[in-house]
Amino acid sequence: MFVLIWLTLFVSVKGSIADTGASAWGQQLCVGRYCVTLSERELTAEAGLCVVIPCSFTTADEFTPKHTIWYKCEASQKFCTDADIIFHSNKNTDKKAQAGFEGRVSRLEPDVSQKNCSIIINDLKESDSGSYQLRVTGELNGQQDAFSFIPRVNVSVKGLSQKPTVMIPTLTEGQQATLTCTAPGLCSGSVPEITWTWRGAGGTESYITGNSTDFKTENLTDVTQRHISTLTFNPSAEHHDTSVTCNISFTGGESTEKTLAVNVNHKKEITISGVTTVKEGDVLNLTCSVESFPPSMIVWSKLGSDTNLHSYSGSARLVIENVKPEHSGQHICAVTYMNNTLKKDVNITVIYNRTAQIIGNTTVKKGDVLNLTCNVDSFPPSLIVWSKLSSNTKLQNDTGSATLVVHNVTSEHSGQYICTVKHLDTTLKSSADVTVTWHTKIQNGSGCVLQSEGLTCVCISEGFPLPTIKWPLLNQHTEYSVITTVLNHTVNSTVSVTVKNHGNSTVQCVSNNGNGEERENLLINNNLSKKDEESSGLRWRFLEIIIAFLIGAVLSSGVCFLAKKCYRTEMTSSGHLNDTFVMLTCPDDPLIYDGQALQNNQTLNSNRGTNEVKYASIDFSLLKTHSSRKAARTRESTKTEYAEIKKVIKKEQEDDDGEEGKMLEGEMKHCEPEKKEEEDEPVYSTVNDIIDDI
């Protein structure tokens, strides 16, 4: 049983070293077969309280312990003497303990056979500081014997610094309250004296009528106690701003005390003053006050906002300079008193009208939903009207918010949308520019024609933003030309490539406008097979055709040269463009390009150099389109046509503004030969026209 008591005490003492000075067990120290286990070699305690010296020992098997003796002597002495005894477990011995330690020292375990030599010293004095040594007496092989353990414990006792613990609950007028004072330490030994003292302003003492005090000691174990004093009274407003002191006096003259202020709480009604309706830009000034004691904590806040002002003086002002629309709404004055919160609210109205805010994506893809919201903070609520420039699309809402929703948008929905806000006598407008984008798409009409050693392909693509057309075919060729025309959201790209052997049946066109990419393989319409069949049966006429071709070429060149000379003179004199492309055709030349003026962003690229004159020769004589053309090809008048493309450098005008859409012009002129009675061959303007006649 006592072992359990000792363990409880040791744990409690160990848990509050400041109270007792005890510490954990140390290492075992031995001399032969006699060993002692002490706490740390240095212990610290405070006067008026107690100290526990934990101790255990072991001896030789043939030694039987009977009693334990504790000494206190100078550290310089190797062994303490009988005059230094402070505790002897044998009450019948004539070796008495020092007078100053009588009744203050006791062992925690009375059964020596348990080999527990721990002791507790109560009512400590500063003079108790010193070196403590253990001696064990008993029998060795039937003979009286004793053994003094050399290891010692040094105890240092300092003046009392701990304060009592005073608990004062919240004091409210008219409600009975109890104050509690607990003495420091758990093993002081003697019961201390606890007194209460009240002091008012200026240090004068005051007495509380009807107060009562009570003192009690709680026994935690046989050797530990908690000493408590309580004071019960009915507080009133007159007790406010006084102080109460709890004084603890221990045996030996040591004392400690703690003083706390006493406040008594009371409160009256909450009042709010000030004008609650203001115009935008004015000053809002509200005051929330409450007569209370102690002063209540007042917090101003706006419902749904963090606007607040704290005050402990019993009065809180809410001042807002240059009031804005967001200051409208319910404002709350919260008063915290005696752990309770009381609230009073007031509604603030701000007359205002703000600029409309348009929320939503103004760039949408074709087929998606256009969703624009126009919000307006105003009081009273404004009337909002949505409209589209040059359109009657409208949506009205008088709640301060209007949403315009258009499903499955198309390019026609692009444009400017206007949000009109009508507030009292004013009207304000905000606008948003909506752009509808769509994926690039390669249109019908794209295709390729392989004629002799010339491959001509056309790719037509539509999209917004405007797509870019690329030809992977050009990566394998060094001689080619590209013509690009733009009309609205459509790009037409025509590529001409000189090929000798082209084994593929398709040519890929790649279109990309940032929203997506589309690739399409264009079928090649090959006209070489029919030509080869005819040429195999007409080899005997080859020489005759060559002679006719040379004659026709000489005549055509002369006529074309004269026409070109005239036209260059005319264009040079006009000089309204920097660069002009001229297409001259000889008699009966079929046109492979219709000469339409290139729009927007036109380019003509060639990596064959920068020669001033470019030639493209395309032989249409072997195309078999109908019976009349077959008859025409059998005649000896078979010709080879030439188309001359010449880039004429114009003198730049000083006042030329570079008007968009007129950077390049393509013009076509025909040399007029003598008309023959034979049937004329058709003139081709696009690849599609060629394909249609094949």
Based on the fold, state whether residues 508 and 657 are members of the same structural domain: yes
* Domain region containing 153: 2-158
- With bands split at pLDDT 50, 70 and 90, how would you rate the model's confidence at 351? confident
Last residue of a domain, one of 120, 135, 158: 158
Q: Mean pLDDT over residues 399-407, rounded? A: 87
Q: Which of 352, 308, 369, 365 is nearest to 334 (CA)?
A: 308
Based on the fold, state whether residues 217 and 270 are members of the same structural domain: no
Whether residue 209 is predicted with pLDDT greater than 70 in this model: the reply is no
* pLDDT of res. 191: 84
Q: Mean pLDDT over residues 442-460, rounded? A: 89
Whether residue 3 is predicted with pLDDT greater than 60 in this model: the reply is no
Based on the fold, state whether residues 153 and 241 are members of the same structural domain: no
Do residues 450 and 524 touch, judged by C-beta distance below 8 A?
A: yes
More confident residue, 214 or 604: 214
Buried b (16+ CB within 10 A) or exposed e, 488-527: ebbbbbbbbbbbeebeeeebebbbbbeeeebebebebebb
Give the Å distances, CA to CA, from 176 to 170, 179, 215. 10, 10, 19
- With bands split at pLDDT 50, 70 and 90, how would you rate the model's confidence at 560? low
* pLDDT of res. 373: 92
Do residues 486 and 496 touch, judged by C-beta distance below 8 A?
A: no
Q: How does the average pLDDT of the chain come out, rounded?
A: 74
Based on the fold, state whether residues 145 and 178 are members of the same structural domain: no
Based on the fold, state whether residues 453 and 600 are members of the same structural domain: yes
Based on the fold, state whether residues 622 and 654 are members of the same structural domain: yes
Q: How many domains does the chain have?
A: 5
CA–CA dist 297, 339 (Å, integer): 11
- With bands split at pLDDT 50, 70 and 90, how would you rate the model's confidence at 609? very low
Based on the fold, state whether residues 348 and 358 are members of the same structural domain: no
Q: Mean pLDDT over residues 660-686, rounded? A: 37
* pLDDT of res. 354: 77
Percent of the chain whose predicted confidence (pLDDT) is above 70: 69
Last residue of a domain, one of 135, 158, 181: 158
Q: Mean pLDDT over residues 362-378, rounded? A: 89
CATH number for 295: 2.60.40.10
Whether residue 648 is predicted with pLDDT greater than 50 in this model: the reply is no
Q: Mean pLDDT over residues 62-87, rounded? A: 91
Based on the fold, state whether residues 409 and 495 are members of the same structural domain: no
* pLDDT of res. 313: 75
- With bands split at pLDDT 50, 70 and 90, how would you rate the model's confidence at 572? very low
- With bands split at pLDDT 50, 70 and 90, how would you rate the model's confidence at 670? very low
Based on the fold, state whether residues 383 and 472 are members of the same structural domain: no
* pLDDT of res. 222: 66
Helix, strand, or coil here: 34? strand
Where is average pLDDT lowest: 461-470, 500-509, 645-654?
A: 645-654
pLDDT digits (tens, 9 = 90+) for 294-305: 788 899 988 877
Q: Mean pLDDT over residues 71-76, rounded? A: 89
Based on the fold, state whether residues 254 and 270 are members of the same structural domain: no
Based on the fold, state whether residues 113 and 194 are members of the same structural domain: no
Where is average pLDDT lowest: 219-233, 314-328, 389-403, 640-654?
A: 640-654
* pLDDT of res. 547: 67
Last residue of a domain, one of 100, 131, 158: 158
Give the Å distances, CA to CA, from 613 to 311, 480, 610, 646. 92, 15, 9, 5
Whether residue 170 is predicted with pLDDT greater than 70 in this model: the reply is yes
Between the ranges 441-450, 549-558, 684-693, where is the mean pLDDT highest?
Answer: 441-450
Based on the fold, state whether residues 665 and 533 are members of the same structural domain: yes
**Positive or negative: CA dihedral 149, 154, 157, 161:** negative
